[in-house]
Amino acid sequence: IHWEKQVRSSAQIHRQNGLSVLVTGAAGFVGTHVSLALKKRGDGVVGLDNFNSYYDPALKRARRDLLNSHNIFIVEGDVNDARMLAKLFEIVAFTHVMHLAAQAGVRYAMENPQSYVHSNIAGLVTLLEACKNADPQPAIVWASSSSVYGLNEKTPFSESDLTDRPASLYAATKKAGEEITHTYNHIYGLSITGLRFFTVYGPWGRPDMAYFSFTRNILQGKPITIYRGKNRVDLARDFTYIDDIVKGCVASLDTAKKSTGSGGKKRRPAQYRIFNLGNTSPVTVPMMVGILEKQLKVKARKKTVEMPGNGDVPFTHANISSARRELGYKPTTDLQTGLKKFVRWRIFPFGYFSLRSTQLEHSGLVEGVG
């Protein structure tokens, strides 16, 4: 295969006891940042991404170019490709897998339900099979989502809360992912850490998310549509800055215990963990828009409508005491500071937008709050 040499070089470790990490979804928003953070401290990093067109593939290619410039190679492939995964594990003895590849977004599921099943369920199982068969078996850290809390009304959300009311197919596939990974953990001794991210935002972010598309529309003088819950209640999100999320991911990799199985057989009970990674201070969507208006120095043309009943939950709020205790996770960026960094990137994105004549669009239906 043509990429073997690049994979070996990308996997080289440049510090003592460094990790060797396969990052799936490496051309994605979180994957790009996590890959860079690991590489910068001397870990071996190999990316995997199928560069799908859920949102602008040019943004994914720009992130790939950024990673390439730091000697991180991204294999172009799908997590459903068992042969390719087996080959990757044959070439590199990965100590960890950071599994971030997924079909994200809640509204896109109305038109494309199968893509959630393909990436978030079938793809997850294919990846777990590859990890199970690998020797050594890597420890797995993967992205679940705050969306598993669904219509749960008890806040803040704790990991032990019930997750029995998913509000979207996306949420259902993440919840299914938690059951599936738990099963692989106890049957095959795979070490598993599931991270429930809360609305992640920042530079190199996802154009389908509200803060991003609102910024684009405000800059273009186009109206924005703000959703409101029942009884005119504003939606609120526990917006979490990307650098805080990255620290949580890296700490999860560092504290992950080794898998205890080998060759598809379990030896001892292995680690299974689930953590909320949020910011613990929800902000309403109109307040978020107010911050953007201030930073862009432009008034938005706002239209507020009742949220169509298709997947968004009214409110998210993370209890992060488990992550704080066990990972040393401590978010430090508030929404003002984080959006300032996002806006700066959006306006001076290292030549990315200026290279393009058209503006970023995505193939989803309407912008979700995330």
Binding residues for ligand NAD, rule: CB under 6 A, are 24-25, 27-31, 49-52, 60, 78-80, 100-104, 119, 123, 143, 145, 197, 199-200, 206, 370
What residues contact residue 327 under an 8 Å CB cut-off, 6+ apart? Answer: 248, 251, 252, 255, 275
Give CA–CA dist 92/99, Å, rounded: 16
Give me the residue whose beta carbon is nearest to ligand NAD: 28
Q: Which CB sits closer to ligand NAD, 188 or 211?
A: 211
* Min separation Cβ 43 and ligand NAD, Å: 19
Shortest CB 16 distance to ligand NAD, Å: 30
Q: Which is nearer to ligand NAD, 103 or 295 (CB)?
A: 103
Smallest distance, Å, CB 57 to ligand NAD?
Answer: 8
Looking at the Cβ atoms of 80 and 262, the one nearer to ligand NAD is 80
Q: Please report how close the Cβ of residue 72 comes to ligand NAD at its closest, in angstroms.
A: 14
Residue 257 CB: number of other CB atoms within 10 A?
11
**In the complex with ligand NAD, which residue's Cβ is closer, 190 or 246?**
246
Residue 22 is inside which H or E element, if any?
strand 20-24
Residue 278 C-beta: closest distance to ligand NAD, Å: 10
Smallest gap from Cβ 126 to ligand NAD, in A, equals 9
**Active-site residue numbers?**
170
DSSP conformation letters of 225-247: EEEE-GGGPBPEE--EEHHHHHH
Q: Residue 136 is encoded by which pair of tokens?
A: 């050594």
CA-wise closest residue to 170 among 110, 121, 106: 106
Contacts for 223-226: CB closer than 8 Å, 24+ residues apart: 223/300, 223/301, 223/302, 223/303, 224/289, 224/300, 224/301, 224/302, 224/303, 225/303, 225/304, 225/305, 225/366, 225/367, 226/285, 226/286, 226/289, 226/302, 226/303, 226/304, 226/305
Question: Residue 275 half-sphere exposure, CB side, CA atoms within 13 Å?
Answer: 29
What are the counts of helices (DSSP H) followed by strands (DSSP E) for the chain?
Answer: 13, 13
The residue (of 103 and 168) whose beta carbon lies closer to ligand NAD is: 103
Q: Which is nearer to ligand NAD, 107 or 266 (CB)?
A: 107
User: 286 exposed, middle or buried (CB, 10 Å; 0-12, 13-18, 19+)?
Assistant: middle
